[in-house]
A = this chain, B = another copy of it.
Amino acid sequence: MNNKPIGVFDSGIGGLTVYRALKQRLPRERVIYLGDTARLPYGSKSEATIIRFSEENARFLLGHEVKLIVVACNSSSSYAVPHLQTSLDVPVIGVIEPGAEAAVAVSRKKVGVIGTTATIMSGAYEAAIRKRNAALEIVSRDCPLFVPLVEEGWGNHAVTRMVADEYLAPMRKEGIDSLVLGCTHYPVLSEVIAAVMGPGIRLIDSGVTTAAQVESILQGLGWLNTNPPAEEDEFFVTDYPERFRRVGGIFLKRKISRVSVAGD
């Protein structure tokens, strides 16, 4: 098992923030990444559809003999992880539980959660936070325009500040002390979000805690790779490899070489 790769899937490119955290923590692990760019976004879609797409993505990764699957998409994690954990033979880790873990660690009184419509409607963060600390108050809302604004490259645009203010001002008034960025695209907006929220509110990105959980599970199983990986990481997309190579390079701050179309 030790030499087998870790599989990561996301609806598109946002999961690269989780990939990056994983590689920083576990540089000896090889990763196979799948971005379902033909069917993105998942955040505006229903539970049944998200589960079906997630199962297909997991099957693709299993075809590449991965030893563990990280569901880097919050919408998929909200709905499909419990399902995949029952149906698959390898460990499956989503980003919700590690994100909730981090929120509980830094919040004192009231925590805010933002995400796609699917993630917020699922109530998955609320349940995961309450399970750990039932005394914390939780305020949540969906922010459907954040993903298209990031994809448009308007991460620091006046329009984005205006949208962020409209979405987040009520949360600021509610007096939250931490804010879970419950979508892998949102860390790109962290400056704008921090400016709207003001000082003293901690922003939580679950990538780092997810990577720590992956390490602890592989360690427990004795499946950590002890040698540097023999092969490069591989990236698969279901549409537009060129765009993924280009925008992904910005996410990772380095060139992505091997991007293929899944199925070709």
Which residues on the B side are within 8 Å of A232 (C-beta)? none
B45 and A240 contact, CB distance less than 8 A? yes
Interface residues of A in 212-244 (CB under 8 A from B): 238-240
A151 and B162 contact, CB distance less than 8 A? no
Identical chains bound together, number: 2
Which residues on the B side are within 8 Å of A166 (C-beta)? 159
**Interface of A, helix, strand, loop or mixed by DSSP:** loop
Which residues on the B side are within 8 Å of A48 (C-beta)? 239
Any B CB within 8 A of the CB of A152: yes
Determine the distance from Cα of A228 to Cα of B192 in the docked complex, in whole angstroms: 57
Closest residue of chain B to A162, judged by CB? B159
A158 and B151 contact, CB distance less than 8 A? no
Determine the distance from Cα of A37 to Cα of B45 in the docked complex, in whole angstroms: 8
| With A38-B39, A159-B159, A162-B159: A239-B152 Cβ-Cβ less than 8 Å | no
Any B CB within 8 A of the CB of A149: yes
| With A159-B163, A162-B158: A46-B145 Cβ-Cβ less than 8 Å | no
Which residues on the B side are within 8 Å of A159 (C-beta)? 145, 159, 162-163, 166
Any B CB within 8 A of the CB of A82: no
Contact with B along A142-164 (1 / 0, CB 8 A): 00110011011010001100110
Closest residue of chain B to A148, judged by CB? B148
Which residues on the B side are within 8 Å of A2 (C-beta)? none
B46 and A239 contact, CB distance less than 8 A? yes
Any B CB within 8 A of the CB of A44: yes
Any B CB within 8 A of the CB of A49: yes
Determine the distance from Cα of A147 to Cα of B39 in the docked complex, in whole angstroms: 16
24 contacts across the A-B interface (CB closer than 8 A): A37-B45, A38-B49, A39-B39, A44-B151, A45-B240, A46-B239, A46-B240, A48-B239, A49-B238, A49-B239, A144-B148, A144-B151, A145-B145, A145-B148, A145-B149, A145-B152, A145-B159, A148-B148, A158-B162, A159-B159, A159-B162, A159-B163, A159-B166, A162-B162
> Which A residues form the contact surface with B (CB < 8 A)?
37-39, 44-46, 48-49, 144-145, 148-149, 151-152, 154, 158-159, 162-163, 166, 238-240
8 tightest Cβ-Cβ pairs between the two chains A and B: A148-B148, A49-B239, A38-B49, A46-B240, A39-B39, A46-B239, A144-B152, A159-B162
With A46-B240, A145-B145 already in contact, 11 other A-B pairs whose C-beta atoms are closer than 8 Å: A38-B45, A38-B49, A44-B151, A45-B240, A49-B238, A144-B152, A145-B149, A145-B154, A148-B148, A158-B162, A159-B163
